[in-house]
Amino acid sequence: MEKIIKVDLKEKSYNIVIKENILSSCSKYIKELKIGKKILIVTQDKVPSVWIQKVKQSLFEAGFKVFVLVLKSGEEQKDLSSLLKIVNFAIKNKFERSDSFCAVGGGVVSDLTGFAASIYYRGINFICIPTTLLGMVDAAIGGKTSINIKEGKNLLGTFYQPKIVIMDPRVLSTLSKREFLVGMGEVIKYALLEHTAKTKFPKSGFFKFLKTKKNQILKLNTKALFQIIDYSAFVKAQVVSKDEKESNLRAILNLGHTFAHGIEQAFDYKKYTHGEAVSIGMCLASKLSYRQNLISEKEVTSIISLISDYGLPTRLERPFNLNKIIKSMLLDKKNKDGKFRFILPVDKIGKVKIVSGIEIKEIKPLFLN
């Protein structure tokens, strides 16, 4: 089965191609882009070499001159030092503007490589081949690129769209359970956005699908995986097509993320993965929404139960430094006039809205209950 989803951004439009075993034939799709002959594959040391070799061999057989740069794994590697490694490698090997950077890996490597592509010669071709669920449903789509600095997560970055995104659900078989669940945090997020994004999942809705198909999804059932990747990528593609640079609708994709970024930063990206932090963030956003009289207690319970059913955390383990978390949260780009601006569930599951003017005193009790 092959599925092609278009991200419609006029002259910056591109396709997301989802197909089993596509890595061995990825050059077929890349050749159609009519790009230069040099391609730099940027990856990380925990990405299984089998996937890198399949991409490399396919490109080599198609006549591309292929280079591979392997960086260390981990969120802490999404920094200025790694960015300069990519740029310096490209300079040393005389990459030109018509050539390409290709990210093969998870969200860290796609954010980092995309940012490098956006600033090298003021913009070189960028190709994304995600090998994690998080990459497939979130990081690889939409052109948000960034690095972290000590003051906060994703504080340096650009909007820079890839030329193509290529996904093979089979690569998820090599993920650890924890790595797989990193992506499920983002998948559950799409269930909470369904009505606002106006992307109705067939039949009874995506939230119910995730509840009823939990066992198949966690057992990496091929059909169930294809469905969650397809739908999640479709939702993000539709939202990005309507609002590329997050001036309005695209902000809904940040549900749970203001809390999550604060948590990740406060724990130096070591205790919680991004998906775990987003899961806790969605639970906190739901509790805040209830305190703001925007949803019922029943909805809050349903959201927290689904997250818990997938083995994701719903609250922070003690001890934690709440002031440090709040300080990091205040750096969030969505905030205005020193007050928080959150994406919160409203009315019913699947609907959200932007709520501004939330003060620190309203946030602190959420962490302590």
pLDDT band at residue 189 under the 50/70/90 scheme: very high
pLDDT at site 183:
95
To which H or E segment does residue 53 belong? Answer: helix 49-61
Domains and CATH numbers, the chain: 2-171 (3.40.50.1970), 177-368 (1.20.1090.10)
Indicate if the pLDDT at residue 320 is higher than 80.
yes
Beta strands 100-105 and 38-44 are parallel
pLDDT at site 328:
87
Least confident of 35-49, 193-207, 279-293: 193-207
> What mean pLDDT do residues 202-225 have?
94
Backbone angles phi, psi at 158, to 5 degrees: -140, 165
To which H or E segment does residue 264 belong? Answer: helix 257-266
Across the chain, mean pLDDT equals 94
Q: Please report, as a single letter, which amino acid is at residue 107.
A: G
Least confident of 106-115, 209-218, 330-339: 330-339
Place of tokens 């009519």: 34
Find the length of the chain.
369
> What mean pLDDT do residues 143-154 have?
88
pLDDT at site 202:
83
**366: exposed, middle or buried (Cβ count in 10 Å: 0-12, 13-18, 19+):** middle
Whether 133 contacts 180, CB under 8 Å: yes
pLDDT at site 201:
87
74-87 pLDDT tens trace: 888 999 999 999 99
Place of tokens 């799409």: 190
Cis check: omega of the bond before 48, within 30 degrees of 0: no
Least confident of 47-51, 126-130, 197-201, 230-234: 197-201
Whole-number Å distance between alpha carbons of 91 and 169:
34
pLDDT at site 245:
86
pLDDT at site 150:
84
Indicate if the pLDDT at residue 334 is higher than 80.
no
pLDDT at site 199:
85
273-293 pLDDT tens trace: 999 999 999 999 999 999 999
pLDDT band at residue 333 under the 50/70/90 scheme: low
Closest CA relative to residue 50, chosen from 113, 131, 165: 131
pLDDT band at residue 366 under the 50/70/90 scheme: very high
Whole-number Å distance between alpha carbons of 236 and 218:
22
